[in-house]
Amino acid sequence: MMNMLQKYLLEDFYHYSREIGGETWEVMKELLEFEADRRTVNVTVNSFGTPLNEPDRHDYERKMLYPNFGTLYPDGQTILSGYGPKPGVSDFQTLGTEFKSKSVRFATILQDEENFVYGMRQEAAKMYAKGFEGQSHYGCFYAFYKLKMIELRNLKLIFDTISQPRTAEERRALFKSVTPLFED
């Protein structure tokens, strides 16, 4: 239920940004399409080992959770909804020309299953930092909010790491998973 609500919220925000137009639309289009693609990949990866991964449920139930926009829509979503236990990383190369610039990014993240979540967070932080590059648009407020959410997640990770009894090596390993917000 929560996934469906998030999907509809994202789609409504996309349409609202398009109605505003101008530089806001240019900035928000890139940010929201990245978010839609990230959600599409997350829904696919998180469905592994669940009933949503059964072949007869790919087409309808998993596809219902995908946003109806983004660079993966509709060709990439068709490929992702139709494949078994892992979303064939090699199939990202067959997506549309617009997604090819992002395919290297997603393909390398999907190859490292252990660091998938961290890799997606890093890419999201880079995208949201780009929201501050223009002027006279509302996209910077959305980017600011999303970066603050990443910052809160980082602080929670740091506080949890400090409060738990761990060795120094374990703490260093956990601190490496803090998502940098602005890189030089």
**Residue 74 near residue 17, CB atoms below 8 Å:** no
Q: Give the dihedral sign, CA 95/97/99/102.
A: positive
The C-alpha atoms of residue 2 and residue 8 are separated, in whole angstroms, by 10
pLDDT exceeds cutoff 70 at 53: no
Q: Of 85, 113, 99, nearest to 36 (Cα)? A: 99
């506080």: which residue's tokens? Answer: 159
The C-alpha atoms of residue 146 and residue 47 are separated, in whole angstroms, by 25
Burial class (CB in 10 A: 0-12, 13-18, 19+), 76: buried
Q: Among 18-32, 62-76, 122-136, where is mean pLDDT lowest?
A: 62-76
Determine how many CB atoms are found less than 10 A away from the CB of residue 27: 22
pLDDT at 161: 81
The pTM assigned to this predicted structure is 0.78
Mean per-residue pLDDT of the chain: 77
pLDDT at 134: 82
